[in-house]
Amino acid sequence: MKLKKLALVLTGALVSLALVGCGGGDQAKQDAKVLRVGAAVDFAPFEFQDEGQKEYQGFDMDLIRAVAKEMGSEAEIQNIGFDGLIPALQAKNIDVIISGMTINDERKQKVNFSDPYYQSGLTMIVRSDEEAIKSFKDLKGHKVAVQIGTTSANMVKEMEGVTVTELNTPADCFMELKARGVDAVVNDRPVNDYYINQTQAVGVKSLADKLSAEDYGIAMAKDNADLQKKVNEALKKLHENGEYDKIYQKWFGASK
Ligand code: ARG
């Protein structure tokens, strides 16, 4: 009886040794070198896909690659719909989200955020011939398109007398506006500005009125405080060594 028990313990030990030997350790080491990033790649100039370019482009994409490098890993970026990002993080399919994601209390219940890395806010785009809508208070009685799961969607849904259409991407919202399915699009200011100034957006204009001030953060799982610390350290380093400024200038043309 005693011998049998000893044999069992020994077999157990041998199995564990064999597992380590067969690359259990190597595998863990390899995985640690990859930072699995989720982004909704529909948000120029933060994350987008350029025709003819294999790699995802944008401020967030450059920033997270630099953060990963600083941490001694490599960013592996997955394109996930914006409203699927937090669920993907909770399911442990990704390690971080970078996606122009606004830090807010509701999300803080579900994820940890890094220190803020970009100051943003919400503005509106309307058709060039629009006379009735000049500021957010004019939205009453109108139809508005927003990207699903965003702070824009939350804000507009709270406005009285506004009919809200939630679509998958900002591009879908702009299309709906041009097709006259809605009267305005509410979306993040830098993305609206880029759409108006950098793409050949015709028949639409952006309005100056700002609805809110928002900070973007990199999101991580709640039970991964260690990663949060490492990401914040990397961000701090990138601010100190000028790399953050370089990336900022590349995409926004001015120093922060
Ligand atoms: N800042 C807004 C939010 O957090 C919109 C972000 C949308 N990001 C994207 N990649 N589509 O809700």
User: pLDDT by residue (tens digit) across 49-93?
Assistant: 988 888 999 999 999 999 999 999 999 999 999 999 999 999 999
Q: Is 150 in the pocket of ligand 1 (CB under 6 A)?
A: yes
pLDDT tens-digit series, residues 199-230: 878 999 999 999 989 999 999 999 999 999 99
* d(C-alpha 76, C-alpha 99), whole Å: 14
34 alpha carbon – ligand 1 mean position (Å) = 24
Domain range for residue 200? 122-212
Residue type, 191: V
Query: Same structural domain for residues 151 and 208?
Result: yes
Question: What is the number of structural domains in the chain?
Answer: 2
The tokens of 67 are what? 């953060």
109 alpha carbon – ligand 1 mean position (Å) = 17
Percent over 90 (pLDDT), the chain: 81
Query: Same structural domain for residues 113 and 134?
Result: no
The tokens of 98 are what? 């970078």
H/E stretch holding 119 reads strand 118-127
Q: Is 45 in the pocket of ligand 1 (CB under 6 A)?
A: no
CATH code where residue 91 lies: 3.40.190.10
Q: What is the pLDDT of residue 32?
A: 57
Query: Same structural domain for residues 169 and 139?
Result: yes
SS3 call for 5: helix
